[in-house]
Chain A
Amino acid sequence: MRNFRIFTAMALIVILMSAAPAAVMALDDKLVIVTSYPKDLTGAFKTAFEAAHPGITVEILQKKTSAAVKYIQETAQGNTSDLMWASAPDAFEVLKADGLLAKYSPQAPGIPEKIGSYPINDPDGYYIGFAGSGYGIMWNTRYLKRKKIPVPREWEDLKAAVYHDHVGMSAPSRSGTTHLTVETVLQGEGWNKGWALWKEMAGNFKMVTERSFGVPEGVNSGDFGIGIVIDFFGFSSQATGFPVEFVYPTVTTLVPANIAMIKNAPHPTAAQTFIEFLLSVEGQELLLDPAIRRLPVNPATYAKAPKEFPNPFTDKSIGAAVKFDVQLSKDRYNIVNSLFDVMITYRRADLAEAMKAIHAADAALAGKSNAQAQALVDEARALIAAMPITDADAKDDKFPGVFTSDVFKKRKKANAKVPPRQAEIEEQWDSFAKQNYAAAKAKAEQAKDML
């Protein structure tokens, strides 16, 4: 009997709860936005938009970017979301490739074609940039002061032994903007030099975080002193009051953060109104809010910005050093992610040990001349830098079906050559990296023993 009573009570609750919201809904007075943005940003826009357009209620659906993409894919049949609002252009590329976005050309005046060297809107018209952001270096001032570490300004600086175990970064496969940073350095320095730089920097990493927000969080807490982060993480942490600072290195790319209308959006008019609002003078000025701090795409907005605020449209040193090749980035997107994960994310400990040994040998060599030991250290560095594949081979289409095969699409030809599986390729790269790091460590130790 008790159980029966509980069931009745539960059934009552269920009926009451389900009946309540049903009464309030009607057509196109609503807007559903799927976003990866924090409350600070979405809340400000929701309030301002609802005030400007009374009668439309904005419903915000916060998910991390990868979950948002998955959610839109899985719910495509009977879609209930109107807008996708997130930073990473590649998330929008995925949705666009799946045919899940609707075209829209914004009417708002005064917005240039490019920010830095990156086009603001999708050339095909599926997604629209509303703010720019670039990667850089953020540090905790208390941390650096206590540990007596100099302030880094350029990526190259982070190679130095003094930063060992003090740096944090997110993985490119986890965060689209991190991917762009990795790609920017690779394009700015070239494939081999770029990877060598990344690996020497990664030898100083304390961790590769799973979420991109894990990096500013670590720097803010003082768990590690220096983070490779997107600008607004640095600015908004500073605005919140954390003892942190941020700098753009010379080699960086400004990338637009985007918004797109989802195909078969249930409230298309409301969605378009929101996009226009976002690009309007009022909407763009909201981006200057200390808790948001993103670079507006409308150059006129900077007139209202605080004095320290960087302006990429006048300060050409930001994001202009590299001419970013979007096509190249796209062509090797999966390979770069996979290489970074295999060689750096999952082998961070091995890499850090090897680099520590090299730093120790360097220190022992300082001021002495020992050609043999120097040669060993150079060999060790070369082993760290070595790549399992060349620039020319690093194209997704050189590995047909490995990174892009779709299990739901069956191959037509029965006798088609079966490509290797991703796990097989990655295992080869992994053992390559592992052996090289171990060998590099051995050589560096050998060099040190000679001195």
Chain B
Amino acid sequence: MAFSEYRKHPGQTLVMFLIALFLLVFLVIPVVKVIFVAFMDATTGEFTLVNFKDFFSTALFRESFWNSLYVGVMAVIVASLFSMPLAYFTSRFEFRGAVIIQSLGIIPLIMPPFVGAVAMMMLFGRNGSVNLLLEDWLGINIPFMEGLNGVIFVESLHYFPFILINLSAALHNIDRSMEESAQNLGCSGMRLFRRIVLPLSMPGYMAGASLVFLKVFDDLGTPLLLNVNNMLAPQAYLRIASIGIKDPMGYVISVILVIIALSSMWMAMRMLKGKEYATVQKGGGGLAKRRMRPWETVMAWVIILLIMTLVLAPHIGLTLLSFGTIWSFSIIPDGFTLNHFAAIFAETPEYMTNTVLYSAIAATIDVILGTAIAYLALRSKLIGRQWLDYTAMAAVAIPGLVIGIGYLRTFYSIQVPWMENQPLATWWIAIVIALSIRRLPYALRACTAALQQISVSLEESAENLGAGKFATIRKIVIPLMGGGILAGFVTSFATAAVELGMTLMLVSKNSDGPLAYGIYVYMQSAAGRGPGAALGIMAVVVVGLCTLISHIIIDRRQKKFGLGQAS
């Protein structure tokens, strides 16, 4: 095989080359321009690994390392507890709540920075609404938001949709005939679930779970806002932001974050290896659904409402903040007003249009790249295809700040001729590309999981019937991947809309700023809390609407292809 594969498939080779070039220019070079400091002796400027030795001999860093691991694992467990019942109810039963769950499930991801955390504090903080009520009634105070537990609580509420979306997509894709065969052979109930449904949904679950782990492991915002310093990501950020380029430790931590991220991906892949998840039949779509018995319906609703209240708590808090006048040390705000919304519509409508534009372009780039990379990685035999996958995934672990600085460093000297020779780094397109790089891993994992569930034999039949490679991809693979691509688009879009760290570095004029930036600007003053929260609500509404629209579009298209879901 070896290099002859390149010659045999010029089309694939070209696509691979283009993607590799894109990743090289917009991910690898900017990042290397920043993190090479990690491998450099601070005084002599020579290559060294001594900085890594320093890392492991510092008690604070070791402690941070274990804390980050602990929080990551616990968040996956808690997030699984939230998402499994929801995914199960919606895909297993004829259930009216299904639509609500699927749409509300995405909303936690659209947690605007700063205001989201303030809202959580107002509700669950030491002197938040819940604890004030508990103190009045029972005289107790539960530290929901303190220390590592607070981080786990907030992160799992925030990121559990990754598992929910991917797991639902996987459950949906399970071939009903598998289940039926098992039933014919006398299997039912829990045993059927354990032996058939669970294993078959593993690719989706693992895709979601590994994303949750990764995100939590390198998430910066939540620990910072809860003022938990002794974790890796905040340590990296604090060192880079305060000590700056002179100190290599921040970059050493970034390198370690990347290594952990990649090895957890690799482990997730190893666990799936050697198993076949593909199913041939697609039209039947998903598990057999049955009606719930009345008491089951009641139980299901109780569980769902419980989870949903918890999950939507930040948004409930946000709504109160955005309509509230003064909210300080009380259960609800002192009064309500519409002034905050009036203020943002009068002052800064461009934040909303910018956000939709940037995130939509970024998410489109992501699903195109994600589909292409997944296809190359799973279907081609080109050498280096796995590296494409790994490189794209590495972006998940690179702090936004590092990407931001890297872009300034790499693209500031390149000028855009048709923009009055403005530097490329300060053109808003740079923000879009950086967003697409940052969110590519989400789309990629979703697309990979979707492709893993499609049997190669479907493509082979198409080709036997005379379809070319391109026609096969367009008419067979992409339609069948529809759900996964949608999941990828939605997660990329929604999370790109609230990205802050990198945006803060790259925005070069206020009129170019997206919502997250606008929220940041407002949230720097006492008077800005209300308008900031109102902008946060707008972020949720705008992204929610766009998500709904893309759902409808894809759904309609699937129906056209005769892939309409049976429900």
Provide the residues of chain B in CB contact with A77, threshold 8 Å: 412-413
Per the bound structure, the CA–CA distance linking A305 and B45 in Å amounts to 55
A280 at the interface (CB under 8 A from B): no
Per the bound structure, the CA–CA distance linking A321 and B224 in Å amounts to 35
B491 at the interface (CB under 8 A from A): no
Provide the residues of chain A in CB contact with B246, threshold 8 Å: 403-407
Establish whether residues B420 and A22, one from each chain, have CB atoms under 8 Å apart when the complex forms.
yes
How would residues 327 to 338 of chain B score, 1 for a CB under 8 Å from any chain A CB and 0 otherwise? 111100000000
Establish whether residues B357 and A236, one from each chain, have CB atoms under 8 Å apart when the complex forms.
no
Provide the residues of chain A in CB contact with B422, threshold 8 Å: 80
B227 at the interface (CB under 8 A from A): yes
Establish whether residues A67 and B505, one from each chain, have CB atoms under 8 Å apart when the complex forms.
yes
Contacts A64-B504, A430-B60 given; does A80 touch B227 at CB 8 Å: no
Establish whether residues A61 and B58, one from each chain, have CB atoms under 8 Å apart when the complex forms.
no
Establish whether residues A207 and B368, one from each chain, have CB atoms under 8 Å apart when the complex forms.
no
| Partner pick for B408 among A75, A146, A214, CB 8 A cutoff | A75
How would residues 224 to 257 of chain A score, 1 for a CB under 8 Å from any chain B CB and 0 otherwise? 1000000001001101111110000000000000
Establish whether residues A80 and B127, one from each chain, have CB atoms under 8 Å apart when the complex forms.
no
A107 at the interface (CB under 8 A from B): no
Stretch binding the partner chain, chosen from A118-126, A270-278, A414-422: A414-422
B374 at the interface (CB under 8 A from A): no
Which residues 333-348 of A sit at the B interface, judged by CB distance below 8 A? Answer: 337, 341, 345-346
Per the bound structure, the CA–CA distance linking A128 and B77 in Å amounts to 55
Establish whether residues A61 and B510, one from each chain, have CB atoms under 8 Å apart when the complex forms.
yes
Provide the residues of chain B in CB contact with A74, threshold 8 Å: 405, 408-409, 412
Establish whether residues A405 and B43, one from each chain, have CB atoms under 8 Å apart when the complex forms.
yes
Establish whether residues B242 and A3, one from each chain, have CB atoms under 8 Å apart when the complex forms.
no
Establish whether residues B509 and A59, one from each chain, have CB atoms under 8 Å apart when the complex forms.
yes
| Partner pick for A40 among B55, B243, B527, CB 8 A cutoff | B527
Stretch binding the partner chain, chosen from A6-14, A155-163, A183-191: A6-14
Provide the residues of chain A in CB contact with B412, threshold 8 Å: 74-75, 77-78
Most A CB within 10 A of own CB, among B242, B347, B413, B505: B242
A1 at the interface (CB under 8 A from B): yes
Per the bound structure, the CA–CA distance linking A70 and B401 in Å amounts to 11
Provide the residues of chain B in CB contact with A40, threshold 8 Å: 525, 527-528
Stretch binding the partner chain, chosen from A215-223, A322-330, A361-369, A439-447: A215-223
Which residues 477-513 of B sit at the A interface, judged by CB distance below 8 A? Answer: 504-505, 507-511
B27 at the interface (CB under 8 A from A): no
Per the bound structure, the CA–CA distance linking A427 and B63 in Å amounts to 13
Contacts A406-B246, A421-B50 given; does A427 touch B528 at CB 8 Å: no
List 9 additional A-B contacts (Cβ < 8 Å) besides A62-B521, A222-B329: A17-B428, A18-B427, A62-B510, A62-B524, A66-B242, A67-B241, A80-B426, A242-B326, A430-B60
B325 at the interface (CB under 8 A from A): yes
Q: How far is the CB of A34 from chain B (nearest CB, A)?
A: 10
Establish whether residues A243 and B329, one from each chain, have CB atoms under 8 Å apart when the complex forms.
yes
How would residues 443 to 456 of chain B score, 1 for a CB under 8 Å from any chain A CB and 0 otherwise? 00000000000000
Q: How far is the CB of A79 from chain B (nearest CB, A)?
A: 10
How would residues 200 to 212 of chain A score, 1 for a CB under 8 Å from any chain B CB and 0 otherwise? 0000001111100
B465 at the interface (CB under 8 A from A): no
Contacts A64-B504, A221-B121 given; does A22 touch B419 at CB 8 Å: yes
Establish whether residues B122 and A221, one from each chain, have CB atoms under 8 Å apart when the complex forms.
yes
Provide the residues of chain A in CB contact with B416, threshold 8 Å: 18
Establish whether residues A337 and B242, one from each chain, have CB atoms under 8 Å apart when the complex forms.
yes
Establish whether residues A410 and B361, one from each chain, have CB atoms under 8 Å apart when the complex forms.
no
Establish whether residues A407 and B510, one from each chain, have CB atoms under 8 Å apart when the complex forms.
no
Establish whether residues B60 and A174, one from each chain, have CB atoms under 8 Å apart when the complex forms.
no
Establish whether residues B413 and A208, one from each chain, have CB atoms under 8 Å apart when the complex forms.
no
Q: How far is the CB of B236 from chain A (nearest CB, A)?
A: 13
Establish whether residues B508 and A80, one from each chain, have CB atoms under 8 Å apart when the complex forms.
yes
Establish whether residues B60 and A346, one from each chain, have CB atoms under 8 Å apart when the complex forms.
yes
Provide the residues of chain A in CB contact with B408, threshold 8 Å: 71, 74-75
Establish whether residues A13 and B357, one from each chain, have CB atoms under 8 Å apart when the complex forms.
yes
Provide the residues of chain B in CB contact with A13, threshold 8 Å: 357, 361
Provide the residues of chain B in CB contact with A394, threshold 8 Å: none
Which residues 368-424 of A sit at the B interface, judged by CB distance below 8 A? Answer: 401, 403-408, 410-411, 418-419, 421-424
Provide the residues of chain B in CB contact with A434, threshold 8 Å: 59
Establish whether residues B418 and A220, one from each chain, have CB atoms under 8 Å apart when the complex forms.
no
Closest to A212 in B: B524
Count of chain A residues near B, Cβ 8 A: 90
Per the bound structure, the CA–CA distance linking A423 and B247 in Å amounts to 9
A436 at the interface (CB under 8 A from B): no
Q: How far is the CB of B320 from chain A (nearest CB, A)?
A: 12
What are the 6 A-B residue pairs with the smallest beta carbon separation, nearest first?
A222-B329, A38-B525, A423-B54, A237-B526, A207-B227, A74-B408
Contacts A14-B429, A217-B118 given; does A346 touch B230 at CB 8 Å: yes
Establish whether residues B227 and A220, one from each chain, have CB atoms under 8 Å apart when the complex forms.
no
Number of cross-chain contacts by CB at 8 Å: 225
Count of chain B residues near A, Cβ 8 A: 85
Contacts A223-B126, A242-B326, A419-B43 given; does A70 touch B405 at CB 8 Å: yes
Contacts A18-B418, A80-B426, A407-B45 given; does A220 touch B58 at CB 8 Å: no
A53 at the interface (CB under 8 A from B): no
Closest to B122 in A: A221
In the assembled complex, 6 residue pairs joining A and B whose CB atoms fall closer than 8 Å, in A order, are A14-B429, A62-B517, A67-B505, A74-B412, A223-B128, A430-B59
Provide the residues of chain A in CB contact with B522, threshold 8 Å: 38-39
Establish whether residues B43 and A418, one from each chain, have CB atoms under 8 Å apart when the complex forms.
yes
| Partner pick for A401 among B43, B60, B527, CB 8 A cutoff | B43
Contacts A38-B525, A221-B122 given; does A140 touch B58 at CB 8 Å: no
Per the bound structure, the CA–CA distance linking A346 and B11 in Å amounts to 54
A291 at the interface (CB under 8 A from B): yes
Closest to A60 in B: B510
Establish whether residues A242 and B526, one from each chain, have CB atoms under 8 Å apart when the complex forms.
yes
A195 at the interface (CB under 8 A from B): no
Contacts A64-B504, A221-B122, A221-B327 given; does A10 touch B42 at CB 8 Å: no
Establish whether residues A142 and B44, one from each chain, have CB atoms under 8 Å apart when the complex forms.
no
Provide the residues of chain B in CB contact with A243, threshold 8 Å: 326, 328-329
Provide the residues of chain A in CB contact with B405, threshold 8 Å: 70, 74
Q: How far is the CB of B336 from chain A (nearest CB, A)?
A: 14
Q: How far is the CB of A146 from chain B (nearest CB, A)?
A: 7
Establish whether residues A66 and B42, one from each chain, have CB atoms under 8 Å apart when the complex forms.
no
Provide the residues of chain A in CB contact with B122, threshold 8 Å: 221
Establish whether residues B244 and A70, one from each chain, have CB atoms under 8 Å apart when the complex forms.
yes
A143 at the interface (CB under 8 A from B): yes
Q: How far is the CB of A291 from chain B (nearest CB, A)?
A: 5
Establish whether residues B413 and A78, one from each chain, have CB atoms under 8 Å apart when the complex forms.
yes
A353 at the interface (CB under 8 A from B): no
A426 at the interface (CB under 8 A from B): yes
A105 at the interface (CB under 8 A from B): no
B308 at the interface (CB under 8 A from A): no
A192 at the interface (CB under 8 A from B): no
Provide the residues of chain A in CB contact with B357, threshold 8 Å: 13, 17
Closest to B510 in A: A60
Closest to A400 in B: B43
Per the bound structure, the CA–CA distance linking A2 and B412 in Å amounts to 34
Which residues 127-162 of A sit at the B interface, judged by CB distance below 8 A? Answer: 140, 142-143, 146
Establish whether residues A59 and B510, one from each chain, have CB atoms under 8 Å apart when the complex forms.
yes
Per the bound structure, the CA–CA distance linking A242 and B147 in Å amounts to 27
| Partner pick for A75 among B58, B245, B248, B423, CB 8 A cutoff | B423
B474 at the interface (CB under 8 A from A): yes
Closest to A431 in B: B59
Establish whether residues B510 and A220, one from each chain, have CB atoms under 8 Å apart when the complex forms.
no
Provide the residues of chain B in CB contact with A18, threshold 8 Å: 416, 418-419, 427, 429
Per the bound structure, the CA–CA distance linking A64 and B59 in Å amounts to 30
Q: How far is the CB of B74 from chain A (nearest CB, A)?
A: 19
A25 at the interface (CB under 8 A from B): yes
How would residues 300 to 335 of chain B score, 1 for a CB under 8 Å from any chain A CB and 0 otherwise? 000000000000000000000000011111100000
B238 at the interface (CB under 8 A from A): yes
Per the bound structure, the CA–CA distance linking A22 and B419 in Å amounts to 6
| Partner pick for B329 among A142, A337, A421, CB 8 A cutoff | A142
Most A CB within 10 A of own CB, among B58, B227, B229: B227
